[in-house]
């Protein structure tokens, strides 16, 4: 039929096989192959049933995302699926791996579906700023009901095969060989005389189910929880058509809504994010075939906030982990923190007691370095102090076996210096987790000067095993994420001194889509951290780098953020929601006076420019210095570690959408007005003057 879709006859059964690695995406050749194969099966009088099966690790995982935004190529997917559904001979889709998006839509176009027990199905289009555009919004409600369809389509989350069976999305589960299971099912269909059973001919308007109420409830939920997103409301509108319109009109409505989403900037940003995340796993100059080392036995040094979170990440992945602390009291406290974290999840209902017990059994507390002699990997997470780190690394060098990977979670210290404390700098790497480490997806993998390729490749494998998004970065103060966020935090504080309130600054940035406002974020991490950095900077920085004074005033008043119940905002006991601080205004005014500033009204647009453009300018410097390999890596860091809205792609992508020339012009104005911090990054000047973008940057 075509290179990627083949047809073979097994007696009265036509077996159609898709073979389009890596995920059997529905590119043009697959669509055409499917169309022709089904037509051939239809035309062949000897064929009584059709089996659709896929090679490789998965059933069709969706439309070919690379084709989005390009001129459409016939046949379209909806057309192919309508053909499949119209086939007069019963067809069965044999699902394994993940039947996602267009893949599930193809399966719903088939008349029956069987799924391997370990498979999953889902309609994740919303995560790409889309909605299922090949009948998914019309056919899924017809088999699973409107409530389940709304949940699956609006969340984009896949479900396991057993749940798919429960909701009639599949007819039977199987184990073992795919093709044989499909053929056996088809033979059963023939023997029982069960013909074509078309999903589209069923109804989603079931008696006794108030679909309109389900739609209204989902609307309310989306308005609250998915604010700013373009496609979820359109997903709901499409599902609504499944019970309010006949199939052909519902499909038309779905198509219109899909096209709207396809041409939205959010879709472009989300698809960019999808590929950026996968691109980040590829490291320039690192052969993908580089061998990796084992990491079956792991130790974490320091059982504080980060150490425990890191240890739990390993336990969650089923890897035994030891936490080494300075004393038996500190060790016991670390173990209590670990079990307390799990217990909170059990209480919330997100973890079972049994799972907690299994995971806790993997965590051991120790105090003696001799207990680390056999570990494959150590991650240091002690105080952020070079002297303390030196002692730890010297001890590790003395006790750890040759080839053990020695990692540091330092957030600002020079990893090259740390590596120099050992006689094996090639085995030292940075694994910079984000707090809470057992929850946050981001992992900055810091490549020091002497880190070996094998250790770097293993660090990436560790990230994958822990289900983190890893991004390789170079050594500098704060690496990528924190170095940029420092600029952002400082500007947000300047805005408070110039006339804004914390509610205005955070409100503007939350409306922009940030998960959290910068002022509330600083309250969360503790204002004293910034204060001590500030004091150091006052000594070190040249005079033209002016610093805000507001933070000092808060800390002098003993307001350190959430941990003291008061900071830029106030916090009621047990409630992390920031409330306006009624005592803040005099401090704001005092800070403005001290800086010689007359307070003024600042618009939301201005607040966004001052903070987000500060990120962009620093990002450009980081890119030029080679600390990040590519602009998209910086974006991946911001999306996964700093709550930047995925539908804006990340700060660097956002800058390109605005236009680098426009961003530069504003930065030049800020430079003239606010001085040295705003010196435009040379790379930004260069690219803007050459009409190029960050994504074009290849070091030249």
What residues line the site for ligand NAI (CB under 6 A)? 301-307, 324-326, 330, 381-384, 388, 391-392, 409-411, 433-435
What's the CA gap between 535 and 537, in Å, rounded?
5
Helices 604-625 and 660-674 meet at what angle, rounded to 10? 100
Q: Strands 579-580, 569-570: parallel, antiparallel or unpaired by DSSP?
A: antiparallel
Cβ proximity to ligand 3HC: between 125 and 493 the closer is: 125
Q: What are phi and psi of 535, to 5 degrees?
A: -65, -40
Cβ proximity to ligand 3HC: between 24 and 487 the closer is: 24
For every residue of 377-445, DSSP letters joined together read EEEE---S-HHHHHHHHHHHHHHSPTT-EEEE--SSS-HHHHHHTSS-GGGEEEEEE-SSTTT--EEEE
| Residue 107 interacting partner from ligand NAI, ligand 3HC, none (CB closer than 5 to 8 Å by kind) | none
Q: What's the full length of the chain, in residues?
A: 700
| Residue 124 interacting partner from ligand NAI, ligand 3HC, none (CB closer than 5 to 8 Å by kind) | ligand 3HC
Tokens of 220: 């309310």
Cβ proximity to ligand NAI: between 158 and 302 the closer is: 302
Kindly list the distances between the CA atom of residue 144 and the CA atoms of 152, 206, 367, in Å, as whole numbers in the listed order: 10, 11, 54
- 545 CB neighbour count, 10 Å cutoff: 13
Cβ proximity to ligand 3HC: between 134 and 687 the closer is: 134
| Residue 25 interacting partner from ligand 3HC, ligand NAI, none (CB closer than 5 to 8 Å by kind) | ligand 3HC
Q: Which of 378, 369, 382 has the alpha carbon at shortest distance from 413? A: 382
Cβ proximity to ligand NAI: between 51 and 437 the closer is: 437
Which entry of 42, 82, 105, 609 is annotated as an active-site residue? 105
| Residue 65 interacting partner from ligand 3HC, ligand NAI, none (CB closer than 5 to 8 Å by kind) | ligand 3HC
Cβ proximity to ligand NAI: between 93 and 407 the closer is: 407
Per the listing, tokens 């192919």 go with 80
| Residue 303 interacting partner from ligand NAI, ligand 3HC, none (CB closer than 5 to 8 Å by kind) | ligand NAI
Asked if 163 is an active-site residue, the reply is: no
What's the CA gap between 498 and 595, in Å, rounded?
9
Least distance from C-beta 7 to ligand 3HC, angstroms? 23
**What is the b/e burial string over 490-529, where b = at least 16 CB atoms within 10 angstroms of the residue's CB?**
bbbbbbbbbebbbbbbbebbbebbbebbbbbbbbbebbee
Tokens of 663: 């961003």
Tokens of 476: 């500098």
Asked if 105 is an active-site residue, the reply is: yes
Q: How far from each other are the two terminal CA atoms of the chain, in whole angstroms?
A: 46
| Residue 382 interacting partner from ligand NAI, ligand 3HC, none (CB closer than 5 to 8 Å by kind) | ligand NAI
Q: Which of 542, 512, 534, 545 has the alpha carbon at shortest distance from 613? A: 512
Q: By CB under 6 A, name the binding residues for ligand 3HC.
A: 22-23, 25, 58, 61-66, 77, 98, 100-102, 105, 124-125, 128, 130, 132-134, 136, 278
| Residue 415 interacting partner from ligand 3HC, ligand NAI, none (CB closer than 5 to 8 Å by kind) | none
Least distance from C-beta 329 to ligand NAI, angstroms? 9
Residue 52: strand pairing partners: 16, 93
Q: Which of 619, 677, 623 has the alpha carbon at shortest distance from 650? A: 619
Cβ proximity to ligand 3HC: between 267 and 331 the closer is: 267
What's the CA gap between 444 and 379, in Å, rounded?
13
What's the CA gap between 49 and 41, in Å, rounded?
8
| Residue 384 interacting partner from ligand NAI, ligand 3HC, none (CB closer than 5 to 8 Å by kind) | ligand NAI
Positive or negative: CA dihedral 171, 177, 182, 187: negative
Cβ proximity to ligand NAI: between 244 and 416 the closer is: 416
What's the CA gap between 71 and 331, in Å, rounded?
61
Cis peptide preceding 63, ω within 30 of 0: no
Cβ proximity to ligand NAI: between 205 and 326 the closer is: 326
| Residue 80 interacting partner from ligand NAI, ligand 3HC, none (CB closer than 5 to 8 Å by kind) | none
Per the listing, tokens 């939920």 go with 221
What's the CA gap between 480 and 650, in Å, rounded?
13
| Residue 306 interacting partner from ligand NAI, ligand 3HC, none (CB closer than 5 to 8 Å by kind) | ligand NAI
- 451 CB neighbour count, 10 Å cutoff: 25
For every residue of 553-585, DSSP letters joined together read HHHHTT--BGGGTBSSEE--TT----EE-TT-H
Cβ proximity to ligand 3HC: between 235 and 570 the closer is: 235
What's the CA gap between 227 and 513, in Å, rounded?
8
3-class state of residue 52 by DSSP: strand
The alpha carbon of residue 538 and the mean position of all alpha carbons in its chain are separated, in whole angstroms, by: 37
| Residue 128 interacting partner from ligand NAI, ligand 3HC, none (CB closer than 5 to 8 Å by kind) | ligand 3HC
Least distance from C-beta 124 to ligand 3HC, angstroms? 4
Cβ proximity to ligand 3HC: between 131 and 614 the closer is: 131
Least distance from C-beta 363 to ligand NAI, angstroms? 15
| Residue 378 interacting partner from ligand NAI, ligand 3HC, none (CB closer than 5 to 8 Å by kind) | none
What's the CA gap between 265 and 522, in Å, rounded?
31
Cβ proximity to ligand 3HC: between 80 and 681 the closer is: 80
The alpha carbon of residue 369 and the mean position of all alpha carbons in its chain are separated, in whole angstroms, by: 36
Which entry of 125, 491, 497, 656 is annotated as an active-site residue? 125
Residues designated catalytic: 105, 125
């Amino acid at each position: 039929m075509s290179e990627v879709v083949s047809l073979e006859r097994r007696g009265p059964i036509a077996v159609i096989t898709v073979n389009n690695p890596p995920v059997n995406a529905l590119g043009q050749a697959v669509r055409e192959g499917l169309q022709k194969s089904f037509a051939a099966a239809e035309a062949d009088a000897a064929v009584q049933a059709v089996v659709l099966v896929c090679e490789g690790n998965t059933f069709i995982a969706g439309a070919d995302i690379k084709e989005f935004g390009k001129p459409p190529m016939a046949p379209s997917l909806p057309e192919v699926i309508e053909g499949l559904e119209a086939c007069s001979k019963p067809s069965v889709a044999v699902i394994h791996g993940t039947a996602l998006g267009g893949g599930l839509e193809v399966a719903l176009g088939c008349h029956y579906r069987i799924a391997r027990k370990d498979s999953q199905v889902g309609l994740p289009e919303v995560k790409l700023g889309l909605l299922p555009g090949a009948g998914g919004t019309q056919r899924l409600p017809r088999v699973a009901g409107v409530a389940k369809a709304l949940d699956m389509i609006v969340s984009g989350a896949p479900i396991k095969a057993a749940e798919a069976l429960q909701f009639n999305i599949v007819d039977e589960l199987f184990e073992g060989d795919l093709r044989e299971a499909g053929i056996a099912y088809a033979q059963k269909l023939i023997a029982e005389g069960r013909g074509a059973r078309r999903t589209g001919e069923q109804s989603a308007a079931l008696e006794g189910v108030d679909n309109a109420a389900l739609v209204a409830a989902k609307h309310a939920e989306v308005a609250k929880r998915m604010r700013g997103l373009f496609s979820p409301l359109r997903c709901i509108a499409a599902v609504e058509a499944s019970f309010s319109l006949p199939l052909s009109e519902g499909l038309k409505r779905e198509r219109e809504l899909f096209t709207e989403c396809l041409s939205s900037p959010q879709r472009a940003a989300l698809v960019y994010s999808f590929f950026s995340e996968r691109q980040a796993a590829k490291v320039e100059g690192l052969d993908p075939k580089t061998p990796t080392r084992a990491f079956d036995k792991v130790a974490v040094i320091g059982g504080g906030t980060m150490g425990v979170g890191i240890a739990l990440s390993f336990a969650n992945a089923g890897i035994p982990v030891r936490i080494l602390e300075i004393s038996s009291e500190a060790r016991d406290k670390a173990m209590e923190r670990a079990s307390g974290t799990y217990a909170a999840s059990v209480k919330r209902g997100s973890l079972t007691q049994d799972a907690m017990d299994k995971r806790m059994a993997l965590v051991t507390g120790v105090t003696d370095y001799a207990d680390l002699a056999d570990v494959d990997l150590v991650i240091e997470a002690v105080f952020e102090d070079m002297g303390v780190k030196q002692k730890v690394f010297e001890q590790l060098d003395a006790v750890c076996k040759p080839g053990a990977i020695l990692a540091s979670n330092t957030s600002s210290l020079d990893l090259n210096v740390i590596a120099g404390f050992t006689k094996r700098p090639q085995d030292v790497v940075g694994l910079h987790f984000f707090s809470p480490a057992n929850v946050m997806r981001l992992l900055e993998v810091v490549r020091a000067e002497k880190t070996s390729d094998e250790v770097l490749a293993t660090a990436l494998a560790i990230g994958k095993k822990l289900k983190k998004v890893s991004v390789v970065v170079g050594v500098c103060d704060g690496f990528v994420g924190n170095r940029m966020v420092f600029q952002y935090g400082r500007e947000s504080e300047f805005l408070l001194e110039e006339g804004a309130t914390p509610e205005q600054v955070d409100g503007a940035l939350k409306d922009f889509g940030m998960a959290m406002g910068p002022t509330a974020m600083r309250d969360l991490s503790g204002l004293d951290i910034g204060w001590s950095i500030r004091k150091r900077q006052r000594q070190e920085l040249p005079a033209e780098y002016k610093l805000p004074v507001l933070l000092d005033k808060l800390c002098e008043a003993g307001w350190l953020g959430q941990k003291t119940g008061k900071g830029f905002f106030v916090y009621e006991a047990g409630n992390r929601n920031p409330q306006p601080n009624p005592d803040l205004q005099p401090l704001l005014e005092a800070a403005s006076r001290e800086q010689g500033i007359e307070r003024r009204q600042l618009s939301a647009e201005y607040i966004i420019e001052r903070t987000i453009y500060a990120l962009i300018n620093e990002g450009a410097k980081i890119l030029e210095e080679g600390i990040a390999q590519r602009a998209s890596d910086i974006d991946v860091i911001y999306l996964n570690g700093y709550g930047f809205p995925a539908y804006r792609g990340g700060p660097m992508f956002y800058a390109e959408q605005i236009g680098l020339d426009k961003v530069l012009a504003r930065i030049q104005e800020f430079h003239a007005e606010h001085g040295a911090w705003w010196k435009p990054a040379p790379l930004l000047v260069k690219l803007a003057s050459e009409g190029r973008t960050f994504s074009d940057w290849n070091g030249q």
